[in-house]
Amino acid sequence: MLKTLEEFIGVKAFVGFGVAGNQAEHLAQAGEANDFRDVVALENAPKGMFPWYASSRDGILSTNPLSSTELKLYGDDPLQPEPEIGLVVRFHYRGEDQLGSLTVLGFSAFNDCSRRIAAPKISMKKNWGAASQGIAPVVMPISDFDAVGGTIESYRLVCYLKRAGELIQYGLDTAVSDYCYFNETLTEWIVNQINTQQDAGPLEEIGKVLRDEKPELGVIGIGATCYTDFGNSESRFLKEGDESIVVAYDGLKHTLADVEQALANNVMSDESMIVLRQKVVR
């Protein structure tokens, strides 16, 4: 049975992290590949992690940016949706300074919306206040993320922009199993990255963020998929009145045509189709 994020988290503090470079070509499409030119990573591995919400941090990152209904513009900054799978996780600590492991509790459709600006740290592009990131109103509980062939592996991820009544495919229709790192490989990499990542280039010491808060729970966006030609075009940036839509759907039960028909009919999310729809507002 689907749950809301609030049912997972309740009144507990949580932290928001993202994974950068977990989908081939996305960084290049986002104009960020050069930012990571000096970051050392294994071939096909993600490039690093960044915080997008940490209540103990000074400044804008201390504001919870998640919304299931709205996406707020920020001045004249060019904003671009980033369709992702978002994981709800539980952290397990080892001593005072180390993360021992994490457990994936569920997943949802996630929008790691970004300001396409020059900035020294990737986190500076991610949170500009309330309703600047997105997660669907429901989360699919799972207990088998680490296992190959688990519940999530039949799901696909696709992104649309609805503009002036027209539904435009914005992100490629992508199998979630096409992430470079996935299953136990990804969760082990996340734990190691949190414990070892240093402040360098566009990245920062992610472990310090976790140590400062010691939250039980977190929401982790595991990387954006690639864009369609429209998502790479001069018209790609969000405008007031647009609707950004991210869908995680079970490819064994639905086709892309089914998804588009459901969006046209304003069908609500269920276990086989998790829908995030955000109206772009000032």
pTM tops 0.85, yes or no: yes
When pLDDT is cut at 50, 70 and 90, the band that residue 23 belongs to is confident
Count of CB atoms situated within 10 Å of the CB of 74: 14
Which residue in the block uniquely carries the two structure tokens 């539904």? 167
Mutual orientation of helices 183-196 and 206-213 as an angle, nearest 10°?
80
Burial of 208 (0-12, 13-18, 19+ CB in 10 A): middle
- pLDDT, residue 97, reads 84
Q: What is the pLDDT of residue 210?
A: 92
Instruction: Encode pLDDT of 235-258 as tens digits.
Output: 999 999 999 999 999 999 999 999
**Neighbour-count burial of 59, counting CB atoms closer than 10 A to its CB (0-12 exposed, 13-18 middle, 19+ buried):** exposed
Q: Are 175 and 182 in contact (CB under 8 A)?
A: no
Position 1 scores a pLDDT of 87
Strands 155-163 and 243-250, by their bridges, are antiparallel
**What is the C-alpha to C-alpha distance for residues 25 and 188, in angstroms, rounded to an integer?**
23
Range of the domain at 211: 5-281
CATH number at residue 119: 3.90.850.10
The pairing of beta strand 273-281 with beta strand 243-250: antiparallel
Please spell the DSSP secondary structure of 109-155, one letter per residue: EEE--EE-S--SSGGGGT--STTSEEE-S-BEE-S-TTSTT-GGGGE
Both tokens of residue 134? 């997105």
Q: What is the pLDDT of residues 195-240, one digit of tens each?
A: 999 999 999 999 999 998 899 999 999 999 999 999 999 999 999 9
Taking the C-alpha atoms of residue 281 and residue 244, their distance in angstroms, rounded to an integer, is 11
For 115-168, how does the pLDDT look when each residue is reduced to its tens digit (9 = 90+)? Answer: 999 999 999 999 999 999 999 999 999 999 999 999 999 999 999 999 999 999
pLDDT of residue 192: 96
What is the tally of structural domains in the chain? 1
- Supply 170's token pair: 């914005």
As a whole number of angstroms, the distance between CA 253 and CA 70 comes to 28
Give tens-digit pLDDT for 27-79.
556 566 566 555 556 677 899 999 999 998 888 899 999 999 999 999 999 99
Which of the pair, 13 or 17, is modelled with greater confidence? 17
In tens, the pLDDT along 78-97 reads: 999 999 999 999 999 998 88
Contact of 88 with 61, CB cutoff 8 Å: no
pLDDT for 193:
97
Listed in sequence order, the residues at least 6 apart from 114 whose beta carbon sits closer than 8 Å to its beta carbon are 30, 79, 80, 82, 125, 126
State how far the Cα of 81 lies from the Cα of 51, in Å rounded to an integer.
Answer: 17
The pLDDT of residue 101 is above 80: yes
Beta carbons within 8 Å of 121's beta carbon, 6+ residues apart = 50, 202, 203, 204
Q: How far apart are CA 46 and CA 66, in angstroms?
A: 24
Check pLDDT > 60 for residue 26.
Answer: no
